[in-house]
Amino acid sequence: MKSRNVEIRYQCSKPVLAGREEEYVREAVSSGWISGAGPYIGQFERGVSDYLGVEDPIAVSSGTAALHLALLGLGLGDGDEVIVPSFTFVACANAVSYCGATPVLADCDRLSWNVTVDSLRAAFSARTRAVLLAHLYGLPADIDPVLDFCRSEKLLLIEDCAQSFGARYKGRAVGSFGDAAAWSFYGNKVVSTGEGGMIFVRDPEKRGQVRRMRSQGMDPSRHHWYPVKGFNYRMTNVAAAIGCGQMEMADYHVEERKRIGRRYGANLADLETGNTVHLPVRPADRMSVFWLFGLVLKTQDPEARDRVIRRLLLEKGIQARPFYIPLHRLPMYASGLPFPNADFIGNNGIALPTYSGLADEDVDWISGAVSEIVREEAG
């Protein structure tokens, strides 16, 4: 694959369709069920339900749609504040604002990259109604203290599991802890349907409402009767067919990411003990699925990170990616408040190639290239 005339040996991410995805897509096409109805949709929902241990999840057209409907389904709207990490994908804040609610940003932890109770407390106000907790780069946030905080302040908890499908906290899959949860099945996620998402809503009544709102809000017992304003957020049967193939291989994809994450961690440990980088933390009570293996340079040089990424591509054909620009630096969500940890991680974070099938030898070769260039640019 080529990008700007550079030969890419290792893409940062790619979907790996190593199971029966193609067979199921053919079957969807030949049966004519290609739209937002058809047998694969329910089958995919049941597959995810069984795998994650969440009851009756709802397939939708994207992770962003999943966040939007989850928030609406919990009743969030005008005048409500929802605490959102500053260091996360922009869809988190966008989904809150689609509801008419206000995203209020929280700083993250420097080492886990996730928000903590202290940072949530700093963002809390009398208008706070909910916390949108993202489990980033495959690592679950420390959920129990967040749950305690939400209970004591009477806040709703929505988990964003877009980057952490199959990750576990104290043995339980993320997404099963809060009042609602959202997953994304975009092409670079642990499990993919191309574009797609999934919602879990704990309360059965609200769950039914979300299911209806996925399809214009129609009353299931009376055709063309729309008691609420809904959306077209349906997942197609073709996408769900891919998802069914992916779910049969879900253990493989999760185990592959764990293997790759552990190997990068061991290979790059010298950089960390040499005080040059932070590697992902691995708390004993959490199982990360290493969505993308990330490292954060411990440098004061604001250009070092981009030099490392450029040299990895030009000299080695390795496509590494910068971490997110924190939301407090985007014009829409700029608040003027300082978020030093989000800034530090956003400025210095690098995501390395991580996808199922990336062989140990490849991880070793990439690690060698990263060690060499990072030492030269940021050592």
Stretch that binds ligand PLP, among 29-37, 89-97, 200-208, 276-284 (CB under 6 A): 89-97
Closest CA to 267 of 133, 361, 377: 361
Q: Which one, 192 or 367, has the nearer CB to ligand PLP?
A: 192
Q: Which range touches ligand PLP (CB under 6 A), out of 57-65, 71-79, 243-251, 255-263? A: 57-65
In angstroms, the Cα distances linking 193 to 76, 81, 190 are: 28, 32, 10
Beta strands in the chain (DSSP E): 2-3, 6-7, 58-60, 81-85, 102-106, 128-134, 156-160, 168-169, 172-173, 180-184, 197-201, 277-278, 286-287, 293-297, 321-322, 349-352
Closest to ligand PLP by CB, 130 vs 378, is 130
- The smaller minimum CB distance to ligand PLP, of residues 25 and 96, is found at 96
CA 257 to chain centre: 14
Interface positions, 169-208, toward ligand PLP (CB under 6 A) = 184, 186, 197
| Closest to ligand PLP by CB, 199 or 304 | 199
Q: Cβ–Cβ contacts within 10 Å for residue 6, how many?
A: 13
Whichever of 292 and 373 has its CB closer to ligand PLP, that residue is 292
Q: Which is nearer to ligand PLP, 63 or 245 (CB)?
A: 63
Q: For residue 85, what are its two tokens?
A: 């990490």
Beta bridge partners of 168: 173, 287
Q: Which stretch binds ligand PLP (CB under 6 A): 101-109, 156-164, 198-206, 282-290?
A: 156-164
In whole angstroms, give the CA distance from residue 356 to residue 235.
24
Backbone angles phi, psi at 241, to 5 degrees: -60, -45
Asked if residue 64 binds ligand PLP (CB under 6 A), the reply is yes
379 exposure class (CB count in 10 Å sphere: 0-12, 13-18, 19+): middle
Q: Which of 60, 120, 134, 308 binds ligand PLP (CB under 6 A)?
A: 134
Phi, psi of 172 (to 5 degrees): -110, 140
Task: Candidates 28, 58, 70, 91: give the one binding ligand PLP (CB under 6 A).
Answer: 91
Residue tagged 């928030």 (tokens):
71
Stretch that binds ligand PLP, among 7-15, 61-69, 209-217, 263-271 (CB under 6 A): 61-69
d(CA 138, CA 156): 22
Query: Residue 239 and residue 192: Cα distance in Å, rounded?
Result: 9
- Indicate the residue whose CB is closest to ligand PLP: 63
How far apart are CB 197 and ligand PLP at their closest, in Å?
5
Binding mask 9-48 for ligand PLP (x = CB under 6 A): ----------------------------------------
When asked if residue 88 is in the footprint of ligand PLP (CB under 6 A), the reply is yes
Select the residue interacting with ligand PLP from 117, 162, 249, 369 (CB under 6 A). 162
Q: Measured from the CB atom, is 186 or 355 closer to ligand PLP?
A: 186
Nearer residue to ligand PLP within complex by CB, 62 or 128: 62
14 vs 22: CA distance, rounded Å:
16
Binding-site size, ligand PLP (CB under 6 A): 14
Please say which residue, 33 or 185, places its beta carbon nearer to ligand PLP: 185
Nearest approach, Cβ of 190 to ligand PLP (angstroms)? 11
Residue 373 is a binding residue for ligand PLP (CB under 6 A): no
Candidate list 43, 62, 119, 236; residue touching ligand PLP; CB under 6 A: 62
Nearest CB to ligand PLP, comparing residues 107 and 160: 160
Beta bridge partners of 318: 10
Half-sphere exposure of 104 (CA within 13 A, CB side): 19
Nearest Cα to Cα of residue 196 among 313, 61, 64 = 61
Q: Which residues bind ligand PLP (CB under 6 A)?
A: 62-64, 88-89, 91-92, 134, 160, 162-163, 184, 186, 197
